[in-house]
Amino acid sequence: MDKEKSQILVLVEGNKTDYNLMNKLLEIYGISDSHEVVSYHTNIYTLYQEMFQEGDPASVDLLQNLKEHEPNPHLKELFDRRYSDILLIFDLDPQDPLFSVDKITEMASYFVESSDMGKLYLNYPMVEAYYHMKSIPDPEFDSYTVSLEELTGHTYKGRVNRENRDHDYRKFGVDKKENDIVIRQNIAKAWRIAKPEALSPLSITPPEAGDILRRQLEMHSKENILSVLCTCVFYIAGYNPKLLE
């Protein structure tokens, strides 16, 4: 099915930062008409309980599950529509009491195909990573990490606000040129995380999500840190790499 004519569901975790970011990017890259962005209003570990806790997630219809837990009648109707692709955009949130390596690994292994069960994009540690740049481009971006202490203390978002170039998300990535740079920097950093032995990760195609997750979980386990990375923007490169030219 032609993605330009089909409808794509973009499920985001919250109704503010990630909702606004995805709508902005889809608008900037001229593909907003074929996408429906909907907030899930809770995190990925709640979704795990709803779909994986009882056994085989393939036996659970994702859209009907979303409809069942959606209190808004208008949004319920959205889950009765047919979509060619489903994107799930969530934060890793390792500080969440329900977090476990097994859970997130199982979900990442399951949600790998947007036109079937859905494709998962995990942000490290959360969607605010997109705004964690002191300049565009930011030559220090590759070095940015976040500690588990910052996450449990709920101080990371404040840090991003302080270190963000504009101290105002609305002024960050104001045009296509700036967003091209931000997306490319995140892709390049993702390659350095997933394949640190590579000398020059210049591909505009992001590395495998499973490779990124595996390396991030290793850092989390050994050092109680994550490398700051926004992967939901990889969707733009995957949708059409020419959009970043």
- Residue 1 inside a domain? The answer is no
pLDDT at 84: 95
Phi-psi region of 131 (alpha: psi -120 to 50; beta: other; left: phi over 0): alpha
Cβ atoms of 213 and 108 closer than 8 Å? yes
What own/partner pairs with CB < 8 Å and gap ≥ 24 does 60-68 have? Answer: 62/86, 62/117, 62/118, 63/9, 66/11, 66/38, 66/40
Domain for residue 2, yes or no? no
Q: Which two tokens stand for residue 17?
A: 């930062």
Percentage, residues of the chain above pLDDT 70: 96
Q: Does the residue 63 lie in any domain?
A: yes
Lowest mean pLDDT, pick from 13-22, 92-101, 111-120, 194-203: 194-203
> 115 lies in a domain?
yes
Q: What is the pLDDT of residues 158-191, one digit of tens each?
A: 999 999 999 999 999 999 999 999 999 999 999 9
Following CA atoms 32, 50, 41, 156 in sequence, which dihedral angle do they give, to the nearest 10 degrees?
-100
The pLDDT mean for the chain works out to: 93
- Give a yes or no: residue 96 inside a domain: yes
Q: Which domain holds residue 17?
A: 8-244
Considering its fold, how many domains does the chain have in total?
Answer: 1
Beta bridge partners of 229: 124
Q: How far is CA 10 from the centre of its chain?
A: 10
Residue 201 has pLDDT above 70, yes or no: no
Question: Is residue 3 domain-resident?
Answer: no
146 occurs within a structural domain: yes
pLDDT at 50: 92
Residue-wise pLDDT for 76-122, tens only, equals 899 999 999 999 999 999 999 999 999 999 999 999 999 999 999 99
Q: Cα separations (Å) of 89 from 62, 115, 119, 159?
A: 14, 15, 8, 22
Domain contains 198: yes
Backbone angles phi, psi at 204, to 5 degrees: -80, -10
